[in-house]
Structure 1
């Protein structure tokens, strides 16, 4: 069985003290969905605000300023991306360096035979065939350790990601209403736009003017 998730890398939440966060997982990846705990949502917001700010102060008063800085960035950048797992073989494809969660819809390009860049250095690499895509976790992975992704299954997998991101956005709105009520509507709109969450998958792709 193939599972696809949107994840954030949580390194920027280490020693974060501006609001409550969850203890980091061993793999430093946080799967975004509508089932996160309040502390996990705090972790996600810590990552999103820290990664888009040069301010590393720990004074609690900096928290609101950090959120306001996120509102001012041209493009929201989120460390992470798509996590693809094959539960039958145990092979896991983690996001590559500099791919970014904001680029998650790039996977739609595989439906049209487009090349998919998944990051720098030892990031996952792809071999496209007519009806399926083979994905290796990294460049030095043994040849037999890959995931076969039928192209026909990709829309449903990405729709699941889209649904989970919408669930996360609803939780982020609740979080913002508590920690930054004055900025909450603008913050959620910024995340919705920057992470390309709101637009239906069947109508739009990133960069598509239609």
Structure 2
């Protein structure tokens, strides 16, 4: 191959790599808006008022339903939440934990989570891709970051309720609850027995709460 051919191959390869990288980044984040804000095709934009950008979900704080120890209020871009968040790459939530209340291990596949403790003390945990566990006890005013897609949990080990405010780097970050996903989704027992190296009785016991 001559020098001119080599010179042509380098730019072509560079363009190819750059294009692939752009495609990956685009797929890994919220869609880019080409307007000031999102309005669905059935809405006349001239009729939009400030109510479209307002949510009253957090008014009055959080009341935990009877029988529960943890309860979450979310404001995302979902149609029944706050559609104006669509494409803005941000959403929020508020969680209240009674003593002993646990938000079990889960992930948010589409967004990083930033947690701010408003009341009480909260114990949190995070596991990275090398299987290293990071734990911390957070007090009022403390902030903790859970990177996108990594497994994490929160638990109130104190004697008083805890309230936390959370923001996400996605207008709809999603939540994958590991217990429910693993044992309530219909994954074959054989897969569980191989993965966890247990017999069928143990698998049945783990699946029982999710099959009611």
| TM-score between the two structures when normalised by the length of structure 2 | 0.23
Greater share of strand: 2
| TM-score between the two structures when normalised by the length of structure 1 | 0.23
From the CA coordinates, give the structure whose radius of gyration is larger: 2
Q: Which has the higher contact order (CA 8 A, sep 6+)?
A: 1
